[in-house]
Amino acid sequence: MATLATSVVDVCAEAKRAARVLAQTDTAVRDGALEAIAAALEERLEEILAANERDMAAAREAGARAAEPRAGDALLDRLRLDEGRVRAIARAVRQIVALEDPVGEVIDGHRLPNGLDVRKVRVPLGVVAVVYEARPNVTVDASALCLKSGNAIVLRGSSSAAHSNAVLAHVVAEAAVAAGLPEGCVSLVAGGGRAELAELATQKDTVDLIIPRGGEGLKDALQAVATVPVIYAASGNCHVYVDDSADLDHAQAIVVNAKTQRPGVCNAAETLLVHERIAAQLLARVLPALAAAGVVVRADPRSHAIASSCATPDLMIENAGDEDWATEYLAPVIAVAVVDCVEDAIEHIASYGSGHSEAIVTRELAAARAFQLGVDAACVYVNASTRFTDGGEFGMGAEIGNSTQKLHARGPIGLRELCTFKYLIEGDGHVRA
């Protein structure tokens, strides 16, 4: 079952032992374990929701004391589980079962002139530690992806979801072990604060990779101490740029969806950039739609002047400060700026973007191509919302996070990103001259 209230060293050592077994476990056994996990989530729904309500109650109480209630609403959305969300998590596990097993896949193969046969084969990483904030669904998504790809997982969630994570990890680990996977394949460490995080980040003899899923504070805390390799699935300061050739109906739909469909997630848009030639037309349409959704606008001088002329009583508009362009709000707040051209939009994104997801709305091929080539991000969209950056939407089942770096994974971290490779070389008495 899930390891709770045990030393980090012991948890990681047990995970290492489990990883050796998992690497040799047949696909059918791993898939059977995932089916058992999905069924257990549905069977123990009431237990899971009761634990989540304890976390929600604590978060609501904390939110009532907070100076920024909009941020509290976003936290509650990330934290909340209901019957529909739990069943969706179970469906995501079954979708992972249906995916092709990456373990053992031959990436490349050839025979050398000397007769040696060389194959490059995909293999599990070993032990993956996932550190995450608020989202209890990550407990299941990350576990399912790791088990499918032959990895053991050590989970370290945040205190805000402590009860939810504990129950979910227990359900997942118990079902996996009962289905034939080794003890220690899924472990949870919790309760030790920053000291515990630092200890986990330095288990280089047992942990092969850490994936943090959270904000810049978590990223900074790990960068300061980690000796284990890290893939950062960190902040998403995402932009939508509307070019002067854009279809205004498409632009309005994309902007509103990217900001409001679920504002508390990392692929939600935080900044809207508008070409100066269509700024008045577009903002006259978009700002009332955002206001109707309760979004606060933080505007640069040019967009503020346009917004002031909009006869929208519920429009909340504030002057944007320098810090707004670099802020991941995770809340119904958006920064808005008018730019002179696509090159200026690209330059703005280069200065403030986090390398997550960026979008252009345009009917000009040249502008789209310039944006695709000029923007350095994991996911670059043309005429589509940034909200599609997701392993499930990309056909990868669930995801552990979205990598904003370039090695060894970029974008949604799915099954193949949880693998490395090794070379298998076969000879017939070969020796090197």
| CB contact set of 200 (below 8 Å; sequence gap of 6+) | 8, 12, 129, 131, 154, 156, 189, 207, 210
pLDDT at 128 over 80: yes
Return d(Cα 14, Cα 67) in angstroms, integer: 43
Q: List, for residues 179-216, the tens digit of each pLDDT value.
A: 999 999 999 998 668 889 999 999 999 999 999 987 77
**The two structure tokens encoding residue 44:** 């123990």
Could you tell me where the beta strands, DSSP code E, fall in 69-159? 106-111, 117-124, 127-132, 152-156
What pLDDT does 154 receive?
98
**The two structure tokens encoding residue 112:** 């050398």
| DSSP percent split of the chain into helix, strand, coil, nearest 5 | 45, 20, 35
Return d(Cα 269, Cα 35) in angstroms, integer: 35
Lowest mean pLDDT among 60-64, 141-145, 416-420: 60-64
Give the residue ranges of DSSP H helices in 104-229: 137-148, 162-178, 193-200, 216-223
The identity of residue 259, as a single letter, is K
- Whether 128 and 141 have beta carbons less than 8 Å apart is answered as no
Give the residue ranges of DSSP H helices in 299-427: 301-308, 342-352, 365-374
Question: Mean pLDDT over residues 114-118, rounded?
Answer: 97
What is 238-388's CATH number?
3.40.309.10
| CB contact set of 270 (below 8 Å; sequence gap of 6+) | 236, 237, 238, 239, 327, 328, 329, 333, 334, 335
What pLDDT does 68 receive?
56
The identity of residue 7, as a single letter, is S
pLDDT at 235 over 50: yes
Q: How confident is the model at residue 314 (pLDDT cuts 50, 70, 90)?
A: confident
Q: How many C-beta neighbours within 10 Å does residue 93 have?
A: 27
What pLDDT does 40 receive?
98
Question: Mean pLDDT over residues 257-274, rounded?
Answer: 96
Give the residue ranges of DSSP H helices in 293-320: 301-308
Q: List, for residues 319-356, the tens digit of each pLDDT value.
A: 999 999 999 999 999 999 999 999 999 999 999 999 99
Question: Mean pLDDT over residues 288-297, rounded?
Answer: 95
| CB contact set of 313 (below 8 Å; sequence gap of 6+) | none
What pLDDT does 251 receive?
98
Helix (H, G, I), strand (E, B) or coil at 333: strand
- Whether 352 and 237 have beta carbons less than 8 Å apart is answered as yes
State yes or no: cis peptide before 408, omega within 30 of 0.
yes
- The CATH H-level (homologous superfamily) assignment of domain 8-233+400-426 is Aldehyde Dehydrogenase; Chain A, domain 1 (3.40.605.10)
What pLDDT does 142 receive?
95
pLDDT at 3 over 60: no
What pLDDT does 70 receive?
55
Question: Mean pLDDT over residues 105-114, rounded?
Answer: 97
Q: How confident is the model at residue 120 (pLDDT cuts 50, 70, 90)?
A: very high
pLDDT at 292 over 70: yes
Return d(Cα 191, Cα 193) in angstroms, integer: 6
Question: Mean pLDDT over residues 355-382, rounded?
Answer: 98
- Sheet containing strand 209-213, edge to edge, reads 186-188, 152-156, 127-132, 209-213
Q: For Cα atoms 380, 383, 385, give the angle at the middle one, nearest 5 degrees.
A: 70
Sorted by where each begins, the domain ranges of the chain are 8-233+400-426, 238-388
- Sheet containing strand 117-124, edge to edge, reads 106-111, 117-124, 419-426
Percent of the chain past pLDDT 70, that is, above it, reads 96
Return d(Cα 118, Cα 111) in angstroms, integer: 6
The DSSP output letter for 341 is S
* Residue 342 CA from chain centroid, whole number: 28
- Whether 395 and 100 have beta carbons less than 8 Å apart is answered as no
On average, the pLDDT of the chain sits at 93
Asked, colleague to colleague, whether 8-233+400-426 and 238-388 share their fold, the answer is no
